[in-house]
Structures are given as C-alpha cells and as structure tokens.
A and B are shown apart, each in its own frame.
Chain A
C-alpha cells in the first residue's frame, strides 16, 4: 500500500450546477485522499446525487472542474469517467437481469465482435479480482436469481473490471438486509486496503460513523462541513445535516382535539417486489388537531399517504373511518375515500395532484369531476366550472387569475394553491397534506400555513407530511417520526426540538440515549 501525502485521489473545485431555478450544487469543493473511505451525507434533495452524477459524467457542471490524481480531467460521459478510473454503483442496479454475472461484467467492454475471447479473459480477470478483494461469486449464475447483496457485488466487480480506482456507492445499503450491509462494509474495507478510494453516499448516520475515514456534509446544494470521522459524532452530524434554519413562526393557539375522525391500525404495505415499504403503522387523526409526520423522504411517508387516500391498496391492517372499516380484503378506492369526506393534497403536484396539460379550471375539479355540480345529463357544465374557478382564484389569490391558462404555466406556489383550494373547498372532515410548501415561494408559504391552521381551528383533522423539519415543528400539534417504513417515535410538538427529531429521523435516537 502506497500512501503518498499528495495528490488527492479525487478533488472537486468549485463545482456548481443549476437546473432552471434550482441551484442543485453551489461551489462544491471536496478533497478525497487516496485509499480512504469518504462519506457524503445530507438530507434528500441536498444535492448529493447531482454531485455524483457530475463526477460520473451524467451531467456536466456549469462551472468548476474535477482533478483525479492531481490531473485535471474533463468528464463529459460515463465513458470518460471510466477512463479516469472512476466506477459507480447506483442505488438502483444497472444490470441486465437475465444475463449471467460474466455477461454483465463484460457489457460495454466485450473486447471485439466475437464474444468468446472477451469472455475467457474476463473469467480469468474476475477470478483474480475475486481473490484479491474477497468478492466471491459464481460468475455463471443468472443475475436475477442472485440475492440483492450479491447483485450489488456484481456492480462492484463491473466497476473494478473496468479498472476503477475510485468507487462511488450511492445509498448502497438502501436495499440490503443488515447482514448484507455488514458484509458490504467488510468488502469496502478490503478495497481500501488494496488502495481503492471509496465515496459513500448515504443519509444513515450509523453506517457512516462505522465505516468511513472522513465525512463531508451537504445541505441545500452546498458543502457545509468536512469532518474526520474519529473527531465527530452523530449528534453533530445530524445538526449539520438539518442545519439551523430561520425559524418559521405560525401564530396558533393550543389544539383542542375532540373526536377521532380516522384511526389506522397496523397498516402495512408490500411493493411489487415484495419489499415491505410500510411497517405496522398505527395512528389517529383527531378533529381540531394537526398530526405531523417527520422523516427523511423515502421512509414510507408516501406509501402511508397513498394507502390512507385509497390510491394504493394496503397489504395488512385496517382503517376505521366514518363508521366504516377498510381492510385489504374490503378496500376503497380514491373516489370512495373522497365520499367519506377525506381530501388529499398529494406530495407531488406535478405527478399526481394536477394534469399539467389541462387548463386551470379543468385541473381544479380533478377527483371531483363526478360531482353533480359540474355535470349535466351528458355534457359537463363548463361555465359552472369556469365561474367557480374564477371565484376560487380570487379567494385564494392565485396569479394570474386566468382559468384558461395551462396548469403548467403557473408558478409552483400558485399551482399548489389551485390544488389546496380544490381540496379544502370541498369542506372535508379529514385533510391529508403532503409537502404543502415544496417548491413554493416564501410569501405563499406563509399563506398556506395560515390556511392549514385555520382549517384545524374549524375542527378538521389534518395529517401533515413534510420533510421540512421547520414546517413540521411550526404547524404540528403532535409529531410522529417515520424511518424505514415504521413509526419510530412520537412526540408532543412542545417537546420537539431539531436535535431530537434529527436523531429520530436517522433512527439513531435510541443509540444516542444508550451511549450517553
């Protein structure tokens, strides 16, 4: 093992990348010494994936440059990245499922029109790699028949076969069992001992503490801190990740919860691959109360919303609502849930809440298009829809107040107002609301928050899902924290602070209690 002091295996200088109005990466600098494991952590949307895509040539940076082993490299495609000795293991594997391990490894590096020669050399080379890095695998196995942990190993082998000396792993443990994850970290240690540099991207604090040498923290597109793993702790990292943002304040009195509108018992959901995305979640929605769901995005909140709203079927559990019991065997679809006076502002207004190709007045009846208000015997009452849209646009200050403008041409905040107005004006008992202020400008945020509190005070039950801790803390009366599909903590909003929530969101709260 050679351990020269300079140069760095990879160095980023002032990398910036902008997508439209979003600054995904801003002046990113990063130095990774050769032969180390370097962790990069941050919340979802902090810009980690964009940065890695730049290093691997999927995107080009607007400004800044990359040096590998002290030499400036120009990476415009993944082939350039491979040539520079960079390999990447994606969160979602890029494997051809019905090929063998060997065929997958040589894909794109077949070494000629006739496969035979390439396959023979690859077989020998793979054996060498397997020995050197203790990456045992049956090279003739069909990939889809391998467990997920081994599939990931194929990805690592693919990168090494292409001569990677720098290996990037994007959320590598997301799909692994704890045992498989432990095994992965042993492999990474072995790689490190052979001089390979590893970049590990994750939002799981425990893993990063256990396996890395250095850590860099990203927040809102910027690199906010660099730490040596030995000289930091989970608490500090959690705080750095979440940041001390300007505290949003919402004027509201204490909640006066009365009856229960909805109670869910042990809700679970499996996705099409059989992975359990929602794990025995129980909750109660009470009149006059805002229940906040905190969590890093992708930890089951979307599944929870979709199951409650009738968009996705539940696999286990039951929901009691308006004197009815909904189970996996007796499901209700989204239209039936609306009839039970449940309204839903979905997390992603573009993908779900709106049809962006529709004119505003059409999008303003989505989900309620069957209502007799809008329908005659055969034709829809276009004028009624347009008049109502005009009224709502005035009441909710949607700009421009033009019911005929394509939904796509409104700004994010105004689109969100169209959705929220649509759901709230139906006068529901229960409002599910996901990421109410994502992509919404500051002025509109305040307005939306006031409306939510007003609804609560008029006796509605509100379920608020947000990845913005400030928003959860400002609005909620009670807070549930979700991690990996399960509820891992419940707090009264008065007792919540960022540190506690941050640790719960990283599922490190209990460890902390023990070690403290």
Chain B
C-alpha cells in the first residue's frame, strides 16, 4: 500500500529552478523582440546584482524588505489565510517607527529608541492586521477582501497624517523632518569594512540582521511551538483543528497579528535604516512582492531568504540593466520581474504533475 514517493529535492529545488529558467527564457524573447541581445542583458543584470560590492549591498537591502513581507505572508498562509494586506501593514508599521523616532530622537539614546522602534513597527503593523483578522474570525468577512481594502485605507491615512501633521514646516516634499543620527539603524558597511568585507556605500543596514533573526524565530514558532502546531493544523485541516479542540478564531487572529507585525518591520529598514524620515510610498510594492516571495519560497524561512535574494537581485540588477542599455526601460525590467512572479508564483504547478509523475514512474519501475 505504500505510495510511490517523489524525492524531496524535486519539489524544493528542481521545480522552482525550472520555473525560473522558463521565466528567464521568455524574458530573453522579450528582450530579443525589442532588438537587444539577451545574453548581454543577462550579464548586465547579474553583474548589477552581484558583480561589485555596492551592488551586493543593494541586493541584500531590497531582500531585507522582501524577507519581512515574505515571512508575513507565509505565517498567515500556514494558517490557511491569504494576507494580501502586507503593503498596508508595512506602511502603518513605518508610521509606528517614525512616531517613536520623532518623539524620542532628541532626548533618548539609540539603545532606548531601537527596541521601542521595533515594538512600534510590530505593534502598528499588527494593529492594522487586527481589524481584518477580527472580521474574518468572528464575522466571516473574507480576509482577502478586507486586507486589500485596508491597503487603500492605509495609503489615504498616511497621506493625511504626513501632509497635515507630520510634514516639516517649510519643506516642499511631503516628508517629516530628518531624525537625529541617534535614531538611525547603523549601516552594515560600518561593521563590515573593519572586518575586511566591502559592500561599498550601500543602504544595507542592521534591519537585514533583524530580518534573519525573524527567519529563525518564525521557523521555531511554526515548527517547534504548540501555537505553531495549532496554526499548521488549522491551515491544513480545519475540521481536524475543531476535533482537536483548537480555538480557531483565536489562532486566526494571532496569526494575522504576527503576520502584520512582520510586515510592519519593513518600516525599520526603510524609515529608520535608509530614509531617516517619515515619507510617502516607501513601501513601493514590497507587500505584494512578498506574496510571490512566500509562494516561491514554499512558505519556509529558508526558501523565503533565497527567493527574497532572487527578487532583490532582480530589483537591483534590473536598475543597472535599465541604466546600461537605454532601450531596456525600467518598464521592461518590471516585465521581467512580472514574468518571474508569473512562472514561479501563479504558474507554480505547471510542470509539477508531469515532473512528479516522471519520478513516480521511475521509482515504480
């Protein structure tokens, strides 16, 4: 009765690899169609992302945001919830960070501000996820719809707050004042260059370390705590969760709180790490890209780190590519990113059955 088994590496490595290769193949055709050489374009892209010190720093800086939002999506997804609201939760998380920094940077030292800012990011992000979570758990409103709505609300709220309340007087741009330096997350190049590692003058900052710590914590939470056990039970078999006496509403709400908090940490990287002031639209679609990162990373922290670095490389290498070959506009770069999302996210199962079938037949024979 034992079922034929597909080797684990097929699902974890081979299928994602094939999907990405197909995405790059189609991207190559697009570049060919606009009259450029795909090989040359690819080499610029790879060089831009990994070829020189600062490029690597930028790639990892982008990846930091994507790790946070990817983890956010995966925690919710493990509980069977599709949190599309990462964008809004990240935005409001940034507000939490900004308020802490603006309130304390003139009076408090860094080691007081930093933990409070982390709490601020998490609590604000979680609070923004709480309303959709409550509506799903207690009223049955679909979380996909409510989280999308909350992205729009977050966007309007931030415009209102920054333009009317937080904008620095006398400034043309809708930004808050720049924080004092004791409210900045340290850049990693400050730590790494004494060690002989050069990442140039890139914006990669301490938030990247926080992102890696979050990966470990999420891994432990999901696979080694009682709560994670309940969450995974709920996500894979809600009937069994009820049978096991799991309080499904409570688990649902907590999953969304944690998810929202993780998305909120994007604010640490962007507001406290790079921009050093509260500004509009700093989330730049990372919340949505996190869905693709999570899907591609199979909702596992290790996979999410790898997928986040891939997407970070596409952001950074794509910028380099658009710079080096003028006919390849930033829009074409967006097309390439879109193709990767399409093939590794939306069309994830395109090869799955056939490849698994191949390995099952082989193991039977």
Q: Among the listed B3, B220, B245, which residue makes an inter-chain contact with A409, where contact means beta carbons less than 8 Å apart?
A: B3
Contact A334 B233 (CB under 8 A): no
Given contacts A311-B242, A334-B245, A351-B237, contact A369 B229 (CB under 8 A): yes
Asked if A346 CB lies within 8 Å of chain B CBs, one says: yes
Chain B: interface residue total (CB-CB under 8 A): 22
Interface residues of B in 244-259 (CB under 8 A from A): 244-247
Contact A380 B225 (CB under 8 A): yes
Task: Determine which residue in B220, B233, B244, B246 has the highest number of CB atoms from chain A within 10 A of its CB, and name it.
Answer: B244
Residues of A within 8 A of B224 (CB): 379-380, 382
Q: Mark B230-247, 1 if CB is under 8 A from A, else 0.
A: 101100110110111111
Given contacts A380-B225, A380-B229, contact A358 B236 (CB under 8 A): yes
- 8 nearest A-B pairs in the assembled complex, by CB-CB distance: A335-B245, A334-B245, A411-B1, A367-B244, A352-B243, A379-B224, A355-B237, A357-B236
Contact A335 B244 (CB under 8 A): yes
Contact B229 A409 (CB under 8 A): no
Task: Determine which residue in B224, B233, B237 has the highest number of CB atoms from chain A within 10 A of its CB, and name it.
Answer: B237
5 contacts between A and B (CB under 8 A): A334-B242, A335-B245, A353-B240, A362-B229, A369-B244
Asked if B164 CB lies within 8 Å of chain A CBs, one says: no
Q: Among the listed A335, A380, A411, which residue makes an inter-chain contact with B226, where contact means beta carbons less than 8 Å apart?
A: A380
Asked if B2 CB lies within 8 Å of chain A CBs, one says: yes
Q: How far is the CB of A367 from chain B (nearest CB, A)?
A: 4
Assuming A334-B242, A355-B232, A362-B229, what are 9 further A-B pairs, CB within 8 angstroms? A311-B243, A334-B244, A344-B243, A346-B243, A355-B233, A358-B236, A366-B243, A382-B224, A409-B2
Given contacts A380-B225, A382-B224, contact A369 B230 (CB under 8 A): yes
- State which size class the interface on A falls in: 35 or more
Q: Mark A325-348, 1 if CB is under 8 A from B, else 0.
A: 000000001111110000010100
The CA-CA distance from A369 to B230 in the complex, in Å, is 8
The CA-CA distance from A337 to B245 in the complex, in Å, is 9
The CA-CA distance from A358 to B226 in the complex, in Å, is 14
Residues of A within 8 A of B106 (CB): none
The CA-CA distance from A400 to B1 in the complex, in Å, is 11
The CA-CA distance from A433 to B306 in the complex, in Å, is 46
Contact B240 A355 (CB under 8 A): yes
Contact B2 A353 (CB under 8 A): no
Residues of A within 8 A of B247 (CB): 333
Contact B240 A411 (CB under 8 A): no
Q: Of all chain A residues, which has the CB nearest B224?
A: A379
Q: Mark A143-164, 1 if CB is under 8 A from B, else 0.
A: 0000000000000000000000
The CA-CA distance from A355 to B246 in the complex, in Å, is 13
Q: Of all chain A residues, which has the CB nearest B228?
A: A380
Q: Of all chain A residues, which has the CB nearest B230?
A: A369
Asked if A375 CB lies within 8 Å of chain B CBs, one says: yes
Q: Mark B3-20, 1 if CB is under 8 A from A, else 0.
A: 101000000000000000
Residues of A within 8 A of B232 (CB): 355, 358
The CA-CA distance from A351 to B240 in the complex, in Å, is 7
Residues of B within 8 A of A382 (CB): 224
The CA-CA distance from A78 to B41 in the complex, in Å, is 52
Q: How far is the CB of A64 from chain B (nearest CB, A)?
A: 27
Q: Mark A350-365, 1 if CB is under 8 A from B, else 0.
A: 0111111110001001
